Structure 1
Amino acid sequence: MPRTTALSRTCAALVAVLAATVPASLAVAAPSPTPAPAAGNSVARWAVQPSSPDGPTGRNYFIYDLTPGSTLTDHLGVTNLSDRPLTFDVYGTDAHTTTDGAFALLPADQAAVDVGSWMRLEQRRWTVPPGKRADIPFRLTVPRNASPGDHAGGMIASLWQAGTTADGQRVRMDQRLAARVYLRVTGDVRPAVAVESVRVAYDNPVNPLGGGDLTVSYLLRNTGNVRVGGTGSVIVDGPFGWELARTAPVDLPELLPGATFAVTERITGVPPTLRLSATVDLAPTTTDTALPPVLRTAGVWAPPWLLIALLATAVGWFGVRRWRRRSATRPATTTTASASASRSPTAAEPTAAEPRGGDPRGAEPLSGTS
């Protein structure tokens, strides 16, 4: 059965974003140094990655498992790939999941309140010579009252540069590259995800044999305290559990605690079977293990209008024919009954079994004797 899945295309794009360094205000560093592009007419290029006092360690991200109250020191490697010295603002910030499932960092004018505020540097501004790398130390201190579970953020290297817009205006741009920070605070870990607001819409076709389009929209919410991912699919059933369609499982984006993600599935060629049920089948996972499946069902009426119209026409035609037949036979029956009544003897007329003047009881007449 042909069908298209909008979620498949969306998630594929999100995976590409999450796996690579992108040159934007919410950029996140990849495992190997990836240069930032030039801004306007500038030739400034640089890269960031997790590092150590002796250089890069090959880590993909900063990943920690710490207890409340603990402290550690780590390093962010910032490499100047341009031909002139560059001065960066280096600082930590918080992360969040966007509505389309992307990993993103807070804008520069918004203060961090979570793991980003727990990372401190000796100084904010760092100048790196051309072709050199600076391994910048920072200290991460977990508050004693930190909530258990996952906390996500990023270490940012920001460069202010002058640029030119399409209409020739000079602007000052803040370009940022960052390395992700994933911190799990030990304690009561509660992975959970919910499927909310399931909505089903059906484009009922005129020809029921051709099938129509079924659109299923729902909202995923991370209701636990650790990041979750997984796969999701939609199953479409008709009456009595008759399976009509099933989408292929697709990878869902990583959801940070409290994050939501809207999903829309479009399935084509679904026949109208009076009632359609769409079941969201979610198989969530964490970084450690798989979670129990989450199912949520909603339905929509899908009457086959053409078949109903044909059936109603047929029933009406047979009903009219029966009424006409009954109307045509009713006068003949009445006439026959009337004729029968006119031939019935009355009480005043003697019957053949009752001799005139005889004993009403039917006794034989008396014979005379001499």
Structure 2
Amino acid sequence: MSSPTGHAARLALAVLLCALAMTPVAGAATPPAPDRGAAPWTARPAVGGSGTGGRPYFYLEGPPGTVLQDRLSVTNPGRAPVTVRLSGSGVRAGGEGVTGGGAGAGNWLRTAAEKVTVPARTRADVPFTVTVPAGATPGDHPGTIVVRGGDRTVGVPVRLRVGGPTLAALTVEDVTVSGRAIHYTLVNRGNTVLAPRIAVRADGVFGTLLRRGDRTLPVRVRPGQRVRLTEPWRDVPALDSATVRLRVTAAGGAHGEATARAVFVPWAPLTAGALLVLGAAGAGTYAYRRRRPRDRRPDDEERFGGVPGDEERPGGSPGDEERPGDEERFGGSPDGAGPPGDRQHSRSRHVAKAGAES
């Protein structure tokens, strides 16, 4: 049997072990809490010599065959170094092509380094060059400098204008009317970026159905680019035939026009009406055939004892005609005018004569 002293010792030992388990080990490193309030790194065009003012994009201009230079600033406001990768692209950050042929400032751009590590709370300026080919087409050639670091991607626009004669040309194509909208495509066939304006008009059989004056569209169409757009038309007619006209213009004398035909028919009511008319016509034809008297068939006379073509004669049935010679054999006249007695007497004489000869 255990003593009270042993129970007390065991209890004290258990309390001591629990206290040791809850006490942190000396020298154990506690992981630092993440700096959630730190701002992410940024990439933008480098500021000018005065250090004041910022540019939303790069703008470079020069004739074909020249080399243009500028600088990109990458700023790291965090507490840890950041490594970013730099590249030029002929497409926007979202993957949209800048030109129809794939040429642009991004394709002719080279950065001084493809990989840059920016220390904490530091800004790094990275030089880059744009080499304009000798055969570059005059006009606008936009591009993008793509900066990737961690889970972020930033695209900095580059607008390059190559010197030489410019051409502003814009067309509107593939105009269609579907539902409550007008669909069309704008094509920049020049060598300069255009901000198009559009005017819409629709004329029906009984007058104008839609008229909208010139207004600037919220798009910029780059050289060689095709943009598919939609013009809403909520008050479409229920029954009409319309001619839709679209006219587009842009700076530099660019203009284009296109038309399309649209027929508006309420198919549901017309289909229901056509079905009702066909049903009524079928019912009328059936009733008419039921009430019309039936024609006599050729075998009806044979079934009822007659011959086709025979006419009824008073006092006799068909086939009871007197044959030639009956009057002579029975002593009657051909027209049957003799009295019945004379005919009987003539028959007696014939009988007696025949008995004498035998």
Other-structure match for 2:162:
185
Whether contact under 8 Å (1:120, 1:140) holds in the other structure is: yes
> Does 1:120 find its partner at 2:110?
yes
Whole-angstrom distance in 2 between the partners of 1:189 and 1:247? 30
Q: 1:97 to 1:278 in 2, by over 3 A?
A: farther
The alpha-carbon distance between structure 1 residues 73 and 188, as it changes in their structure 2 partners (threshold 3 A), is same
Provide the alpha-carbon RMSD of the alignment. 3.3
| Bigger RCO of structures 1 and 2 (CA < 8 A, at least 6 apart) | 1
Q: 1:201 to 1:139 in 2, by over 3 A?
A: closer
Conserved? CA contact 1:53–1:135, under 8 Å? no
Residue 270 of structure 1 aligns to a residue whose secondary structure is: coil
Aligned partners of 2:238, 2:197: CA distance in 1, in Å? Answer: 28
2:58 is equivalent to residue 62 of structure 1: yes
* 8 Å contact kept, 1:97–1:255: no
The amino acid that maps onto 2:82 is: L
CA contact (8 A) 1:49 1:56 kept: no
Q: Distance in 1 between matches of 2:42 and 2:234?
A: 45
Q: Within 5 Å, which residues of 2 pair with 1:1-370?
A: 45-52=40-47, 54=49, 55=51, 57-95=53-91, 114-159=104-149, 161=150, 173=151, 175-201=152-178, 214-239=180-205, 242-247=207-212, 249=215, 251-272=217-238, 274-285=240-251, 289=252, 291-302=253-264
Q: Partners of 2:256 and 2:228 in 1: how far apart?
A: 16
Distance 1:228 1:97, change over 3 A: farther
Q: In structure 2, how many angstroms separate the alpha carbons of the residues matched to 1:45 and 1:104?
A: 28
Query: For the residues of structure 1 that align with 2:79 and 2:96, how far apart are their CA atoms?
Result: 32
What SS is found at the alignment partner of 2:233? Answer: strand
* Post-superposition offset of 1:56: 6.3
Q: 1:338 is matched with which residue? A: none
What amino acid is aligned across from residue 190 of structure 1 in structure 2? L
User: CA–CA distance in 2 between the matches of 1:201 and 1:117?
Assistant: 39
Q: Which amino acid aligns with 2:261?
A: G
Shift of 1:84: 0.8
Rate the CA distance shift 1:97–1:275 in 2: closer, same or farther, 3 A.
farther
| Alpha-carbon spacing, 1:177–1:201, altered in 2? closer, same or farther (3 Å) | closer
Unaligned runs of 5+ in 1: 1-40, 107-111, 162-172, 203-213, 314-370
Structure-2-length-normalised TM-score: 0.57
Give the structure-1-normalised TM-score: 0.55
Structure 2 letter corresponding to 1:257: P
Contact 1:228 1:254 in 2 (8 A): yes
Three-state SS of the structure 1 residue aligned to 2:106 is helix
Greater Cα shift, 41-50 or 251-260: 41-50
**Is the 8 Å Cα contact of residues 173 and 185 (structure 2) preserved in structure 1?**
yes
Residues 1:230 and 1:272: Cα distance change in structure 2 (over 3 Å):
same
Q: How far is 1:265 from its partner?
A: 2.2
Percent of residue pairs identical: 31
Pairwise CA distance, 1:178 = 2.3
User: How far apart are 1:227 and its partner, in Å?
Assistant: 1.1
Distance 1:148 1:96, change over 3 A: farther
1:197-248 CA distance string (max 9 Å, x none): 111235xxxxxxxxxxx421111111111111123242121137x2222346
Structure-2 change in CA distance of 1:42 and 1:258 (3 Å): farther
Give the CA deviation at 1:276.
0.7
**Compared CA separation, residues 72 and 301, structure 1 to 2 (3 A):** closer
Q: How far apart in 2 are the matches of 1:302 and 1:157?
A: 52
User: By percentage of residues, which structure has more strand?
Assistant: 1
Q: CA deviation at 1:303?
A: 5.2
Aligned residues: 233
Give the whole-Å Cα distance in 1 for the aligned partners of 2:216 and 2:187.
Answer: 17
Secondary structure (helix, strand or coil) at the match of 1:194 reads: strand
